[in-house]
Structure 1
Amino acid sequence: MTTVDGLGEALAVLGAGLGAGVLTSTVGVASLLSFPVLLAVGLPPVVANASNTVGLVAAGVSGSFGYRAELREHPRITWTVVVTCAVGAVGGAALLLALPSSVFEAVVPWLILLTCLLVGVQPWIGRWLRARAGEDAGARTRMGPVTTAFALLTGVYGGYFGAGSGVMMVAVLGLGLDIDLRVVNGLKTLAIFAGNVVAGIIFITVADLDWRAIALLAAGSVVGGYVGARVGRRLPPTLFRVLVVVAGVVAAVLLLR
């Protein structure tokens, strides 16, 4: 099996880890940076995907730590996100090992574009939902059945492939809850972390991995994850939403090529 070899390839993977860590804690499209780099240095697709998932666990650790204040604001939501994404990731990881990687290639870009549309129009949809509920309706600070179900499906997708899963989680939580976007960003980062941990455990047990690539990704992403959290928690809501939409559209276009 081809592995990361030489100083140039090692620096490329390390840099990809750093960038992916920042993206994990900001716009949530980390795999679209790190996964192609692993392919470029010669790793087979399934090995690259599984190694990428394990290596980016470090970004979730540091990113979630960076958002620790936001994650404490709604502990019930925080735990619901962790559980749903972890459970979903089990199914996603199983799908990755059982199905060819081409199964979702046709639908994933369009799914990401739809999610970008939902993120972009979320303020208008939120106002419409509040108006329909009436003035007496309180803020939605608990995940209802529909929001929980979509969070679970996002966890499945995250465990299977993961590219754009952060964008999807922003859409799910932004539409289903009335909480600050900085908190949504923290929850999105935690969701990616939970999914990567569970899928990573499965991959360590049954999949072929490149441990050199994993170590380099982890070293870069643990720094990038924390830096991204420091940036992400200070982004104005409108700018954050624009960046998420732009990142999602770029991701979809790259996947359509």
Structure 2
Amino acid sequence: MSAADLLIASGVALLAGVINSIAGGGSLILFPTLVALGLGTVPANVTNSIAQWPGYIGGVVGFRQEYGGQRSRLIRFSVVAVLGGTVGSVLLLTTPSAAFDTVVPVLVLVASLLLAVQPLVTKRLKKAEEGEHTRDPVWLYVALFLATVYGGYFGGALGVILVGVLGLGLGKLKLANAVKSVISLVTATVTLVIFGFFADVSWAYVAVCAPASLLGGFLGAKVATRIPTTPLRVLIVVFGISVAVFLYFQV
């Protein structure tokens, strides 16, 4: 890789961090960029996962006031996230790369469509709020496990899935958004450890993309209230669908 490649990757990671803070979906631009720069789809996926890990810390810190009285729930959900993230990560590393090449266009397309319907899900969940549930239903743990398996395997638009599942299970959208940040961080940490030891990670890209992603997340949070999210969301979705089509014909 050249210095120009590293510069391009860090610039896109910065933009991805900004996008994650404003609308979500940063992975949909950083992952294909790493592929375009010469990484295989699996190395690009694991490198992307590790590079964006610092951004999840900011999300948890930002919601710290919402975690009062949620310690027991967060521990239970975190255990599920560790198990799901582990299964997804191991699945990625133990199945043939050709299998991931086959399924990745579908995953990118699904992630893009989920990002497109996120406002509808959020609106529906706001209308359905009926007060905080005292007990978490069993189906919620099953759904969280499956979601974090997906997060360990690919992870694009994982936050959208988690908000939808948690919103229905907890009955409070604001709480769901806060808990989502913790589950995302735990899942990302699992992938960081597993991929860091066992995957073909491009550490040079991680070195420039991780701090750029963190900075982008910070800057995005500062300007989130000033930038209209709808046009940005449309742009990301269109780009994601285009990437899915491109990958479909390339792999």
- Common topology (TM > 0.5): yes
| RMSD over equivalenced CA pairs, Å | 3.2
Q: Deviations over 1:112-151 (max 9, x none)?
A: 6368557615554675695xxxxxxx53255321122111
Q: Which runs of 5+ in 2 are unaligned?
A: 246-251
Cα contact 2:84–2:149 (8 A) shared by 1: yes
Q: Which amino acid aligns with 2:101?
A: S
| 159, 165, 173: which one aligns with 2:158 | 165
* CA-CA distance at 1:104 after TM superposition: 3.0
TM-score (norm 2): 0.78
Which residue does the alignment assign to 1:133?
A: none
* Correspondence 1:87 to 2:83: yes
Cα contact 1:24–1:60 (8 A) shared by 2: no
Q: Distance in 2 between matches of 1:251 and 1:150?
A: 28
Q: Deviations over 1:136-182 (max 9, x none)?
A: xx53255321122111111000110111111111211122222243x
Question: What is the number of residues matched between the two proteins?
Answer: 240
1:64-213 paired onto structure 2 within 5 Å: 64-72=60-68, 74-99=70-95, 100-105=99-104, 107-108=106-107, 109-110=109-110, 113=113, 117=117, 120-121=120-121, 123-124=123-124, 127=127, 139-140=132-133, 142-181=135-174, 183-213=175-205
Which residue does the alignment assign to 2:249?
A: none
Cα contact 1:64–1:189 (8 A) shared by 2: yes
| 7, 13, 38: which one aligns with 2:9 | 13
Which residue does the alignment assign to 1:214?
A: 206
> CA 1:244 to 1:12, structure 2 compared with 1: closer, same or farther past 3 Å?
closer
Identity %: 30
More helix by share: 2
> CA 1:77 to 1:224, structure 2 compared with 1: closer, same or farther past 3 Å?
farther
Cα contact 2:55–2:217 (8 A) shared by 1: yes
> CA 1:229 to 1:172, structure 2 compared with 1: closer, same or farther past 3 Å?
farther
Q: Which runs of 5+ in 1 are unaligned?
A: 131-137
- The structure 1 segments of at least 4 consecutive aligned residues displaced by more than 6 Å after TM superposition are 242-245
Q: Distance in 1 between matches of 2:234 and 2:13?
A: 21
Q: Which amino acid aligns with 1:178?
A: G
Q: Which amino acid aligns with 2:168?
A: L
Q: Deviations over 1:165-218 (max 9, x none)?
A: 11111211122222243x433333332221111012111111111111011111
Cα contact 2:118–2:160 (8 A) shared by 1: no
Which residue does the alignment assign to 2:241?
A: 253
Q: Deviations over 1:2-48 (max 9, x none)?
A: xx421x32222112222222344444322112111111221122111
Q: Which moves more between the two structures, 30-39 or 18-27?
A: 18-27
Q: Deviations over 1:52-110 (max 9, x none)?
A: 11111111122322222234463344334332222211011111112221353465334
> CA 1:203 to 1:128, structure 2 compared with 1: closer, same or farther past 3 Å?
closer
Cα contact 1:24–1:166 (8 A) shared by 2: no
